[in-house]
Amino acid sequence: MAKITAAEVNKLRKATGAGMMDCKNALVEAEGDFNKAIEVLRKKGQKVAAKRSDRESSEGAAVSKLNADQTVGVAIVLGCETDFVGKNENFLALANQIADIALNCDSKEALLEADFGGMTVAEKLIEQTGVIGEKLEITAFEKLEAPYVGTYVHINKIAALVGLSSRVDSAEVLAKDLSMQIASMGATTLSYKDFDPAFVAAETEARIAVIEKDNEELGRLGKTLKNVPKYISMAQLTDEVLAQAEEDAKAQLKAEGKPEQIWDKILPGKMERFISDNTTLDQEQCLLDQNFIKDEKINVAKYVASYGDVSVTGFKRATVG
């Protein structure tokens, strides 16, 4: 039997991340042949991966990377089975190594086929499944290119990317704030202008039905009923709708006996409230239409405008679970 030295075991451990005993046993089985020992560990990983193929990788780590000139960004999630593994230093290091490789890939499929120290990323994941004992997989892959890309990662659970149209002064601050907004509020699109009319119509009907059902229960309990909006998106608030809302507000002021000379001071607030009450879908799903998390008196679009001639070209979000 070949004599296995501590130096050889340590070399294999550094190359694979496997435990000391696993490395020693692999070298013994391979009769001291380093490359064969790596193959032994890889086969062990394949066996473990096969046994755990039906497991869910619902935990893990979300990480992001930007290229040197911050024109390209990627966000990936390396999934595992438990939060304990997801927080492990070696696991996080692996996630970051894979994210570095992902910068040069255009899809998750390309990433899995990319080189990782002489093997593919997919093979590395199988190898590490054997080392860690949990199913590992890339559960999210997002890439973004723009004249300026910024990022923010929230406790390795959510990674966000945002693209800006130009490198304005303090672009890094703007990009980080927007990335934090994306991570926190979970927008799905930039603006209400991106919505399909059929989607807005179906969503309106569904939301009104939910509120009306809630109001039945609230009425039965003698509690204050929720407002039932006619609309849920700025896409529905045509000039005619807004004009009618203003007329309704004036009629209300007249009925309340408010002097007509002060209506101009009251109407803007009423119209703002009308728009807010009837754009709930936009506030939930549209980045530019959401209230800015650092100053809820303005929306994200107004915050971006405060930086001058710059716009948001796109964004991506990758989450664990």
Task: Provide the pLDDT for residue 39.
Answer: 77
Q: Are 304 and 311 in contact (CB under 8 A)?
A: yes
Q: Give the domain 6-47 fold.
A: Helicase, Ruva Protein; domain 3 (1.10.8)
Report, as ranges of residue numbers, the positions in the chain whose pLDDT lies below 70: 1-2, 17-19, 45-55
Cα separation, 121 vs 133, in Å, equals: 17
The number of helix segments (H) and strand segments (E) in the chain equals 13, 10
What architecture is the 59-183 domain classified under in CATH?
2-Layer Sandwich (3.30)
CB atoms within 10 A of CB 189: 16
Instruction: Indicate the DSSP class of residue 144.
Output: E
Cα separation, 194 vs 292, in Å, equals: 20
Task: Provide the pLDDT for residue 8.
Answer: 82
- What are the residue boundaries of the structural domains of the chain, listed by start? 6-47, 59-183, 193-309
Secondary structure (DSSP) of 60-104: EEEEEEE-TTSSEEEEEEEEES-HHHHT-HHHHHHHHHHHHHHTT
Task: Provide the pLDDT for residue 5.
Answer: 84
Task: Provide the pLDDT for residue 321.
Answer: 85
Give the burial class of 7: count Cβ atoms within 10 A of its Cβ; 0-12 exposed, 13-18 middle, 19 or more buried: exposed
3-state helix, strand, coil in the chain (%, to 5): 55, 20, 30
- DSSP E strands in 81-197: the ranges are 115-116, 119-120, 137-145, 148-154, 158-164
Task: Provide the pLDDT for residue 237.
Answer: 95
- 20 is written with which tokens? 């000391």
Task: Provide the pLDDT for residue 271.
Answer: 93
